């Protein structure tokens, strides 16, 4: 990039840098975002298709989960990466609705392009979009219905809706039940009486082998470890569990030290002292009343021997996250000073059992009285199956958690988008000024959801859009498209229900991303530095001499 000052060129950027300005920059960014939206649009809805993604190593991912597709795609365009961030945000906040958010973002930019061609300034478009988004939030709050956490029937309907069209839908009666029970187990009530759910307290493990129906919810924690010593028990009932975060072996000095041994008696005394220290460790554990030891670090073979001698089950090198979940599930404290461990630090479980699952052994810590952390073991015939089940399960857990925390839901099947289209269009007609055009385009953009649902189901999108609008104009706010029959039905009665949080987050994230992309009128891209010729160091010629052979003063 070069500028002119008094006829003298001034170099500002590195040679080879690219700069795109004005309308060209806006067009390039909008086209990139639209391409991403088009790429996953066919995955939307119960009749959506799957994508097969193959990376450079040949690993295959088959899914129709929006955020997974976008994460696996190697996207270069900065504007397209912003759309990917939309999907990631919705996934982390709401779990479901990732594809919807990206499709809406792409359509908002497509409609904005029409306004730009009419010489409408991007800041005016953004103002209109912001007004429309605020109206959308207002309408969503009005049409949302309350759902109580003890309404298990509706909670299962919400979980089922989130996996519609995914591979996990084949188990739509079985998996939602597991997701609902798991979330309800870990829900905690705050001082103000408000329920909170931390999904990280649900440990999801995948094991290839068996049927999908073998997937189970464990009222406790499952650790992907096996019992250390053949002399230890593999099953302990009424378990008293010591959670230890330090290494159970001879303590090493932190300073460099030498030990000079000159006689066999000195060597024997040294080894005896080591053994005595390790025996004392086991004595501390035994005296506390523990019959199960789960250690975050290593356990020496001598310690293993004494633990086995006292009939104590032990595993080592457990993950820190597993230790924290075990503490929540069993009520035990994680011990850092062995000498101070007492019975009050121990966790309790009805059963600790080593079982063979899918060709490997796992330790089940279950039958906990009131676990605040649980595990779900996913089974399936192939790696792709268990991976896709995990993605579906994540969506179900997140949507059920949203309902328990917020208690608000709306009808699915494009009922919300159609209602918003009509209400925002009415609102736009009441405005004065150029923002009215942007509000109108925002309303039009939301029609992409019912249109796409119809297209993916092989139905006529125009006919279905007209029928949907007619139903909503009659006051049927829950009227949506049944993609299996092509009829317009009450989605709430049909059991197609989604959390209010999902719809809100999808709209907000899509609108913010579209507005941010529209504000960009200058793209400056630096080229990557080319690697030096083979045999030449990065600084220049061998010996530190730069290319050209001239040594600096």
For residue 486, the surrounding DSSP H or E stretch is none
CB-based contacts of 433, cutoff 8 Å, min separation 6: none
| CB distance 488 to 471 below 8 Å | yes
Cα three-residue angle 420-428-128, rounded to 5 degrees:
95
Using CA atoms, how far residue 152 sits from 179, 441, 506, 552, in Å, is: 11, 39, 25, 77
CB under 8 Å to 492, separation ≥6 — which residues? 145, 411, 478
CA neighbor of 330 nearest in space, from 217, 391, 239: 239
Please count the other Cβ atoms lying within 10 Å of the Cβ belonging to residue 267.
11
Helices (H), 52-121: 66-72, 78-93, 98-117
Nearest to 349 by CA among 331, 333, 330, 364: 330
SS3 for 262?
A: coil
DSSP per-residue codes, 400-449: HHHHHHH-EEEETTTHHHHHHHHHHHHHHHT--STHHHHHHHHHHHHTHH
The residue annotated as part of the active site, out of 395, 421, 452, 511, is 395
**Is residue 65 flagged as an active site residue?**
yes
Residue position matching structure tokens 């052979």: 549
3-state secondary structure of 175: helix
Buried b / exposed e along 363-380 (16+ C-beta atoms within 10 A): bbbbbbeebbbbbbbbbb
Q: Is 99 a catalytic residue?
A: yes
Helix (H, G, I), strand (E, B) or coil at 469: helix
Is 521 an active-site residue?
no
Q: Provide the 10 A C-beta neighbour count for residue 459.
A: 17
Spatial separation of the C-alpha atoms in residues 162 and 398, rounded to whole Å: 9
238 in the Ramachandran plot: left (φ > 0), alpha (ψ -120 to 50) or beta?
left
Active site residue 96: no
Write the DSSP assignment of 492-553 as a string of letters. HHHT-EEEHHHHHHHHHHHHHHHHHHHT--EEEEPPPPPPPPTT--TTSSGGGPPTTSPPP-
Active-site annotation holder among 63, 68, 89, 99: 99
Pairing of strands 235-244, 347-357: antiparallel
Q: Which of 63, 68, 98, 502 is catalytic?
A: 98
In Å, how far are 46, 241, 420, 471 from 496, measured between CA atoms?
A: 11, 44, 18, 17
Which of the residues 65, 203, 224, 322 is marked catalytic? 65
Are 186 and 406 in contact, with CB atoms under 8 Å apart? no
Compute the distance between CA of residue 46 and CA of residue 453 in angstroms, rounded to an integer. Answer: 8
**Among all residues, which ones are annotated catalytic?**
65, 98-99, 395
């Amino acid at each position: 990039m070069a500028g002119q000052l008094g006829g003298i060129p001034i170099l500002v950027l590195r040679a080879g840098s690219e700069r795109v300005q004005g309308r060209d920059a806006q067009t390039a960014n909008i086209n990139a975002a639209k391409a991403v939206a088009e790429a996953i649009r066919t995955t939307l809805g119960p009749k959506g298709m799957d994508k097969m993604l193959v990376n450079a190593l040949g690993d295959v991912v088959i899914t129709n989960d929006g955020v997974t597709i976008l994460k696996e795609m190697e996207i270069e365009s900065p504007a397209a990466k912003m759309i990917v961030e939309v999907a990631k945000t919705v996934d982390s906040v709401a779990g479901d609705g990732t594809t919807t958010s990206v499709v809406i973002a792409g359509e908002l930019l497509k409609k904005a392009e029409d306004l730009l061609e009419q010489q409408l300034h991007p800041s005016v478009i953004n103002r209109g979009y912001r007004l429309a988004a605020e109206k959308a939030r207002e309408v969503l709050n009005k049409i949302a219905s309350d759902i109580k956490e003890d309404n298990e029937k509706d909670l299962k309907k919400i979980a089922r809706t989130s996996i519609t069209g995914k591979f996990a839908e084949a188990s739509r009666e079985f998996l939602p039940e597991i997701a609902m029970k798991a979330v309800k187990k870990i829900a905690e009530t705050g001082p103000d009486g408000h329920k909170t759910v931390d999904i990280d307290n649900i440990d999801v493990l995948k094991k290839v082998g068996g049927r999908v129906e073998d997937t189970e919810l464990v009222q406790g924690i499952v650790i992907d470890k096996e019992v250390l010593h053949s002399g230890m028990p593999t099953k302990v009932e009424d378990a008293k569990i010591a959670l230890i975060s330090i290494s159970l072996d001879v303590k090493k000095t932190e300073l460099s030290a030498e030990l000079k041994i000159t006689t066999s008696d000195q060597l024997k005394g040294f080894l005896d002292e080591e053994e005595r220290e390790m025996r004392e460790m086991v004595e501390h554990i035994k005296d506390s009343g523990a019959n199960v030891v789960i250690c975050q670090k290593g356990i020496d073979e001598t310690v293993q021997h004494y633990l086995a001698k006292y009939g104590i089950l032990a595993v080592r090198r457990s993950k820190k996250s597993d230790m924290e979940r075990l503490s929540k599930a069993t009520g035990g404290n994680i011990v850092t000073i062995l000498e101070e461990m007492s019975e009050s630090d121990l966790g309790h479980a009805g059963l600790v059992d080593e079982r063979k699952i899918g060709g490997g052994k796992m330790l089940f810590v279950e039958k906990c009285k009131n676990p605040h952390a649980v595990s779900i073991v996913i089974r399936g015939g192939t790696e792709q199956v268990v991976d896709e089940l995990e993605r579906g399960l994540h969506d179900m857990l997140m949507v059920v958690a949203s309902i328990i925390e917020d208690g608000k839901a709306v009808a699915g099947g494009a009922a919300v988008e159609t209602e918003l289209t009509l209400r925002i269009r009415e609102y736009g007609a009441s405005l004065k000024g150029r923002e009215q055009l942007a509000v109108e385009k925002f309303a039009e953009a939301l029609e992409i959801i019912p249109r796409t649902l119809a297209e993916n189901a092989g139905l006529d999108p125009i006919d279905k859009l007209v029928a949907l609008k007619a139903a909503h104009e009659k006051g049927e706010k829950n009227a949506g498209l049944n993609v299996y029959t092509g009829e317009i039905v009450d989605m709430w009665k049909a059991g197609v229900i989604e959390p209010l949080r999902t719809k809100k987050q999808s709209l907000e994230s899509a609108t913010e991303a579209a507005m941010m992309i529209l504000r960009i009128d200058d793209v400056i891209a630096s080229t990557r530095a080319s690697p030096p010729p083979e045999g030449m160091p990065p600084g220049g010629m061998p010996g530190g001499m730069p290319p050209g052979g001239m040594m600096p003063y």
